[in-house]
Chain A
Amino acid sequence: MTIETSIAEQPPTTTTQRAAVAQLQRRPNARQLAIAVVCLGSTIAAPFLVSNFLIFQMTMVLVYTIAILGLNILTGINGQLSLGHGAFYAAGAYTAAILMDRWGIGYFWTLPAAALVCFVVGFLFGLPALRLEGVYLALATFALAVVTPQLFKLSPFENWTAGVTGITLAKPDAPFGLPLDQDQWLYLFTLAMTIAAYVCAHNLIARRGGRALMAIRDNPIAAQSMGVNTALYKSLAFGISALYTGVAGALGAIVLQFVAPDSFTFSLSIALLVGLVVGGVGWLPGALFGGAFVLFVPNLAESVSKGLSGAVYGLVLITLMYVMPSGVGGLLRATRAFASKRYD
């Protein structure tokens, strides 16, 4: 028996994930296609219908969605826990900011750079993490999250990072003379990135590599004996996951026009983890719900009570875990299972 803290061992998650895989491997039918088209259409039309402030909030939701997608690949698909994804988010953000600020590189080109940097950092971090499991991995990643702000304000690097005061960036205009203002353009740009990120993640999981990752999650020793290179795949999962989160960080920096060490404290890592669990571990579309949770629920808690906003937020979290312990994904599946039982 493995120690109880391995994520994959827990029955609800496993069923969640199996269902997700089954769903991935099915071809979409006409009704699902129609739903997808309507969703896509309304998300593209959204920036022309709502206020710029809401557009900005939706953009940030998408940014967190990408970050949580990355965490989902590591934790949901590969079964490795991370309490430190804020570090990769920060690395991506700083890569973008430094490239734009010091070398005047266009914002678009900072994304592949952030992706590359974070992939390498994540892959390297994944190597020692191979030896760690459960709570031990949790501590190592949590430590990473806690020290991140300290690393980015380290005095020898101040020439690049500008230390504690951070870097302010210019906001990009829409290209090719498109009749869009900056917020609308950033939203559509982020939306395109999110869709691309989602499609890539979807394809990754549906293929051989994705099945290897899940096999490692469900039973590492069995996977190894079937010929899966566990070490390589686990490190790759870390790398790819960090890549996603890093791109999200870069986008976040571009959208907010600012990076500073204080933007990336451990509470960011915790928020991403909460977003992952609320959306549904192992269920890719859950990332969107998670992103929305990360951005909107603290505001909601504040509007209920300013003095006790933390308590309201905490109660919401606890209640959610009662109502849907496997997140939105689990809830949807349970509803569907219930409905099909009734009508079939």
Chain B
Amino acid sequence: MELLIQQLVSGVATGGIYACMALSIVMIYQAIHHLNFAQGEMAMFSTFIAWQLLQWGLPYWIVIPLTVAISFSGGIAIERIVIGPLGEAAVLSHAVVFIGLYAVINSLASFIWDFTTRPFPSPFGAGSQFGNLISNQQIGMIAVTLLVLALLYAFFRYTRVGLAMRAAAENPTSARLAGIRVGLMAALGWGMAAAVGSIAGVLIAPIVFLEPNMMLSILLYGFAGAVLGGLSNPAGAVAGGFAVGVIENLAGTYVPVIGSELKLPIALLLIVIVLVFRPTGLFGRTIVQRV
């Protein structure tokens, strides 16, 4: 029983990492309706920027907003320079551009900062809670994720810009007719996704350490969480992220023989099974198709 509770808490803590990532994936999906393979690398690059600023001696409370601002402009720049000119190209062409972007960012980061595994200072201090099961860093990470979620929810629900962004992504043609600048909205979406990603990166780095390949696998977990929860629903995506963390820990602990070797495959299998019964995720909206 004690082990079960420990694994649950630890699953929630690890799930926080995935939830963070899932949130930024949903963010960009809301803006452009594509899955961005380079999302994780963008977050990693932002985290390196934060690390570099900290190295230069700037205090934490300046570094964070500065990093978010740099990432936001970086995201807009990527959209304007790389993605925008592609226009209405096929989904697969977009996918390949994302793969290219992934390669470029990863390569640049390792060229600039090398591969050394670096500790990233935690903004929440050392120490842990609940019988040492969950560190302050993890609690802080979950709290910030929920806060960002609330802000995003309010943004998309109650602000003009948020509504315009949703409209531009859902139906570009009608949105354009309604006077919304669709291209600008997409750029804004990229900027916000990059900003959310940078927060995710800074929150995750103290736990998994900073290095150019740190996001390689987290991206998959984030995708899994986002898809499980429903790509159209940020809250669902966050819940999905936590669920992935918990399922994975339970699979690793309680499935005999192969559990510890196959905890990720088992978790993914469960997600696919869920998707078979709920093809748009647990909290996603079903879209009616017309001929």
Q: Point out residues on A near B: beta carbons under 8 Å.
A: 1-7, 10-13, 75, 81, 128, 131-133, 135-136, 138-140, 142-143, 146-147, 150-151, 154-156, 219, 221-222, 225, 270, 273-274, 276-278, 281, 307-318, 320-322, 325-326
Contacts and interface: CB of A to CB of B under 8 A. Distances in A.
Contact of A142 (B92, B93, B223, B257): B223
B255 interface: no
Nearest to B96: A277
B223 A139 contact: yes
Interface string B256-291: 011001101100100111011101110000010111
A317 B265 contact: no
B47 to A, nearest CB: 18
**How many residues of B sit at the interface, in one of the four size bands?**
35 or more
A135 B88 contact: no
Contact of B220 (A75, A133, A146, A278): A146
27 contacts: A1-B289, A7-B92, A10-B88, A13-B90, A13-B92, A81-B91, A132-B275, A132-B279, A135-B227, A136-B281, A142-B220, A154-B261, A156-B258, A221-B289, A270-B99, A273-B99, A277-B92, A310-B106, A310-B110, A313-B103, A314-B99, A314-B100, A314-B101, A314-B102, A314-B103, A316-B100, A318-B97
B269 to A, nearest CB: 8
A3 B88 CA distance: 15
Listed from nearest, the 8 A-B pairs whose CB atoms lie closest are: A310-B107, A314-B103, A317-B100, A314-B104, A311-B107, A10-B90, A147-B265, A143-B268
B257 A156 contact: yes
Q: Is the interface of B mostly helix, strand, loop or mixed?
A: helix
Contacts of B99: 270, 273-274, 314, 317
A131 B262 contact: no
Given A221-B291, A222-B291, A318-B82, A136 B280 contact: yes
Contacts of A2: 287, 289
Contacts of A278: 96
B1 interface: no
A318 B98 CA distance: 8
Given A143-B272, A314-B107, A151 B88 contact: no
B51 to A, nearest CB: 20
Given A4-B33, A221-B289, A273-B95, A155 B261 contact: yes
Contact of B93 (A133, A140, A311, A326): A326
A322 B85 contact: yes
A311 B92 CA distance: 20
Given A146-B220, A277-B93, 11 more contacts: A2-B287, A7-B92, A12-B89, A133-B279, A150-B262, A150-B264, A154-B261, A219-B291, A311-B108, A314-B102, A322-B86
Contacts of A12: 88-90, 93
A131 B280 CA distance: 10
A278 B91 CA distance: 13
Nearest to A83: B95
A151 B263 CA distance: 11
B90 A7 contact: yes
Nearest to B287: A3
B231 interface: yes
Contact of A131 (B34, B279, B281): B279
Contact of A10 (B35, B89, B106): B89
A277 B261 contact: no
Contacts of A219: 291
Contacts of B89: 10, 12, 321, 325
Contacts of A325: 86, 89-90, 93
Contact of A143 (B103, B110, B271, B276): B271
A325 B220 CA distance: 26
A140 B107 contact: no
Contacts of B90: 7, 10, 12-13, 281, 325-326
Contacts of A131: 275-277, 279
B224 interface: yes
Contacts of B265: 143, 147, 150-151
B112 to A, nearest CB: 10
Contacts of A313: 100, 103, 107
A211 B123 CA distance: 59
A122 to B, nearest CB: 15
A311 B275 contact: no
B227 A154 contact: no
A313 to B, nearest CB: 5
